[in-house]
Structure 1
Amino acid sequence: MNLPESDSEDELPPGWEERVTVDGSVYYANHLTKNTQWTHPRTGKKKKVSGELPFGWQRCADKNTGKVIYVDHENRRTTYTDPRLAFAVEEKEHVNDYRQRFDASSTALQVLHGRDLNGKVALITGANAGIGFETTRSLARHGCNVIMACRNLAFAEEAINQIKEDKPIAGENCIAIFLDLTSLSSVIQFANTVKSKYDRIDMLILNAGVFGLPFSKTQDGFETTFQVNHLSHFYLTILLRPLLVSGSRVVIVSSESHRFADLTAENLTSLTLSPELPSKYWDMMAYNNSKLCNVLFARRLAKNLQAYGISVFSLHPGNMVSSKLARNWWLYKLLFAIVRPFTKSLQQAASTTVFCATAEELTGVTGVYFNNCFRCQESDAAGDDVLANLLWSTSVEMIQSVLGNNAPGLEFEKT
């Protein structure tokens, strides 16, 4: 893609002023010639901003002059400059053209700066701790209603109380609902509860995951890491599909570990359906394979939903981020503790998730893998459509093996 050489190209020549219409179209006024135009005088490109004012801002008229003013109620200041101009983005010639605005050091709150998410609904799995909690807190602070899908409701309520202490109104935007990803029946019950309370989901964020587990099987008879990290999320997405509307986004938290997976079309069935302990089971490889499944699922799902205006993204949040992910073995705890000073903070780790869920420049983009808030090339295996299709059909078969051929939501998911 073609990117500007530097941000200096956006600087206006002397005598020019940037303004914005109520509907978000940016135009340029030349005070020397008294003319206006829609294109930037240097780049020749048009810009747009969100039609909504940033969170906490109000547009009104000055009682004395009658001029339009903008009031920032959060910081108690007033200006004549439309604050939306700070978030203007160029109209793209191609849907996948966009400039990198954030990087590895960016935080979720920086990504959301100025955004008003009032009225939006996000559903986040594993929302009470780690990256999921920071994602929840950041979205809720900007007005988003967050459904926290958690196995431990006591911990979830503690998380909500922590958000309330930080910003009371943000905590009021959060609700916790029980979800156990080791149980397909729990996934069904959770989905039914959500569908009874909400008529749409704007952001479905599949964040929960386990790491470093010794070999174990869920109550459904599947290897635990595979079911928690992939299969239950796969089924949850299928069940919640009726709540996804045009403009909704599905964000799947994967990992760069997907590059080291050994999953192939030849061994997929044996690795996922094996009922007993494999002779060479390694918890790290089980995790790598589950993360590859995340990217493959995102790839196939994006193709399925593209015609409906629903975007799907997968992402890497950061390397060895200090969260509860490493809680299952003392050695992993030690390793994560040692590298903690050199890795991302939880706020930084949540930035790419939040970017994929909310960034306006990603409107119309789908099926892309992100790292550090920017597009990243996934592994060759992750781009294998044959493997992605096989994973999809195998996942359906696995669910039907437990719930029967008439399992809810799978009527149109045979292939």
Structure 2
Amino acid sequence: MQNVLDSDSEDELPPGWEEKSTEDGNVYFVNSYTKKTQWTHPHTGCKKVIPKDLPFGWSKTVDETSKTIYVNRETGNKTYVDPRLAFAKEEKKHVHDFRQRFDGSSTAYQVLHGVDLSGKYALITGSNTGIGYETAKSLARHGCNILFANRNMEATDKAIKEIVKETNASEENLKSIYLDLASLESVKQCAQAVETVFSDHLDMLILNAGVFGLPYTETQDKLETTFQVNHLSHMYFALLLERLLKRGSRVVFVSSESHRFANLTNIFTNQNLAMTKDQYSAMMAYNNSKLYNVITAKMLSEKWKAKGICVNSLHPGNMVSTNLSKSWWLYRLAFFLVRPFTKSLQQAAATTVYAATASELEGVTGLYFNNCFYCEESALARDKEIAQAVYDMSLRLIEDISKT
């Protein structure tokens, strides 16, 4: 018999071994040569468990001999093999003990393969176009109830109709709500309205909306636009929705690798997180706002850890073809030229969907993800003193504006 250690993969079973499951979701292993059974994987020595529920699209029945049989409702195929075994995972000794299942070429659909999101509730900002739209479409395809929080309601209604047409999702599960991130008052009103739609809980809060490359402009709150739309309003929104976030809820900040190029030197000198007009750089304003996203996610992850609310941030992909570059023709040209070498929208949505739904991320919080796996953030993002200062300054700014 081939030695266990001769296997090409840690997960691969040696010859003669089979993987089977019990009704209550435990995995056991059978050696057909010796008839021996055991609970641990013969190679890794780890125990494995399978999801409680069947994968999306599968049902269970019995045949004429009273044996359990599994049916794929989409294809009609039948099997005696429990389809949950395809989603078996090792029991964790530590919350961060998980392996990389996907990479930069994976799509959101691949991440969601077999995942049933029926009865789950998600809110996504910036979901009528680009990566946000693709994220919403992918989740809706698997039965998720989604609240589209956007400023352009006409485009949102059109996006919902397109998703229903493309995915056969129920239109009753897809609702829209007005949100203008350039106004903290609008953010407050939206959060209050969200509670009338999701009165009980919110499983996924995906903070995706953003602007890029804007000339210097100010919001109605007299703040630089990129700073407020990308960072401050999303932070305020998350704080306002805390009541709806329960144990197991996930908050996802869509950041960027651009956070690694942030420069906060003048920010702390002037005690102003938003860039002033005389020091303004469109690219640096964007870089800083994406750093603030990572920092906010880490700070909230600590604040809410005891409640079981998981908060993570991520990078979706470099220069993905979206409306993000619409502010200047030169940005549009640059994005057009690199389009053949960047991710598709389905690939760009994959890391967001992964952070929001992956079973192995249960209890995982305060991490930064890229290509569907966690990686180290920038040195600035890891600096606890800087993070506390950014969070405190943001909070004071929110409180000051809210009082006026």
- Superposed, which structure 2 residues align to 1:208-287 within 5 Å? 208-264=209-265, 267=268, 270-272=271-273, 277-287=276-286
Q: Is residue 315–residue 353 contact of structure 1 (8 Å, CA) maintained in 2? A: yes
Letter in 2 for 1:262: N
2: distance between equivalents of 1:34 and 1:11? 19
For 1:331, give the aligned amino acid: L
Counterpart amino acid of 2:57? G
Query: Contact 2:267/2:274 (CA < 8 Å) preserved in 1?
Result: no
In 2: Cα distance, 1:202 partner to 1:188 partner: 20
Aligned to 1:175: 175
- Provide structure 2 residue ranges, at least 5 long, that are not aligned to the other structure: none
| 1:201 partner SS | coil
Q: Which residue pairs with 2:93 in the alignment? A: 93
Q: Is 1:77 equivalent to 2:69 in the alignment?
A: no
Per the TM alignment, residue 370 of structure 1 is displaced from its structure 2 partner at its CA by 0.6
Please give the root-mean-square deviation of Cα atoms over the aligned residues, in Å.
1.8
The alpha carbon displacement at 1:7 in A equals: 6.5
Q: Does 1:151 align with 2:151?
A: yes
Where 1:176 maps in the other structure, the secondary structure is strand
Corresponding letter in the other structure for 1:251: V
Name the CA distance, whole Å, in 2 between partners of 1:170 and 1:200: 20
Give the deviation of 1:33 after TM superposition.
3.6
Q: Which amino acid aligns with 2:139?
A: L
Most deviating of 387-396 and 32-41: 32-41
* Aligned residue number for residue 185 of structure 1: 185
8 A contact 1:369–1:378 mirrored in 2: yes
Match in the other structure for 1:290: 289
SS in 1 for 2:363: coil
CA separation of 1:158 and 1:5: change in aligned 2, threshold 3 A: farther
User: Which residue does 2:350 correspond to in 1?
Assistant: 351
What are structure 1's unaligned runs of at least 5 residues?
406-415
Inter-partner Cα distance in structure 1 for 2:305 and 2:292: 20
Cα displacement (A) at 1:88: 1.1
Within 2, Cα distance between the matches of 1:38 and 1:313? 33
1:35-50 to structure 2, matched below 5 A, reads 35-50=36-51
- Aligned partners of 2:36 and 2:253: how far apart in 1? 47
Q: Which residue of 2 aligns with 1:51?
A: 52
Note the C-alpha offset of 1:136.
0.3
Equivalent residues of 1:223, 1:272 under 8 A apart? no
Counterpart for residue 128 of structure 2 = 128
Mapped contact 1:163–1:170 kept (Cα < 8 A): no
Identity of aligned residues (%): 59
SS at match of 2:395: helix
Whole-Å separation in 2 of the counterparts to 1:5 and 1:98: 23
**1:408 aligned partner:** none
User: Aligned-pair distance for 1:259?
Assistant: 0.6
Q: Which deviates further from its counterpart, 44-53 or 161-170?
A: 161-170
In structure 2, C-alpha distance between the alignment counterparts of 1:372 and 1:204, rounded to whole Å = 20
Is the Cα contact below 8 Å between 2:321 and 2:336 reproduced in 1? yes
Report what 1:396 is aligned to.
Answer: 395
Q: Which residue does 1:105 correspond to in 2?
A: 105
Q: Is the 1:370–1:376 contact (alpha carbons within 8 Å) kept by the matching residues of 2? A: yes
Question: What TM-score, normalized by structure 1, do the two folds share?
Answer: 0.92
What CA distance in whole angstroms lies between the structure 2 residues aligned with 1:333 and 1:5? 52
Quote the residue 1:9 is aligned against.
10
Distance change (3 Å), C-alpha of 1:264 and 1:195: farther
Matched residue type, 2:306: A
Q: Which residue of 2 aligns with 1:332?
A: 331
Report if the CA contact (8 A) 1:182-1:218 is conserved: yes
Alignment of 1:356-367 (within 5 A): 356-367=355-366
CA contact (8 A) 1:265 1:390 kept: no
- Secondary structure, aligned partner of 1:188: helix
Q: CA deviation at 1:13?
A: 2.8
Q: Per-residue displacement from partner, 1:186-236 (whole Å, max 9, x unpaired)?
A: 111111111122110111111000001110110011110000000000000
> 1:43/1:101 Cα in 2 relative to 1: closer, same or farther (>3 Å)?
same
Bigger mean CA deviation after superposition, 86-95 or 132-141: 86-95
Q: Is the 8 A contact 1:222 1:272 kept in 2?
A: no
Determine helix, strand or coil for the equivalent of 1:81: coil
Give me the TM-score of the superposition, normalised by structure 2.
Answer: 0.95
Structure 1 Cα separation of the partners of residues 7 and 365 of structure 2: 27
Cα pair 2:102 2:372 within 8 Å, conserved: yes
AA at the equivalent of 2:180: D
1:410 match:
none
Contact 2:7 2:13 (8 Å CA) reproduced: no
CA contact (8 A) 2:141 2:168 kept: no
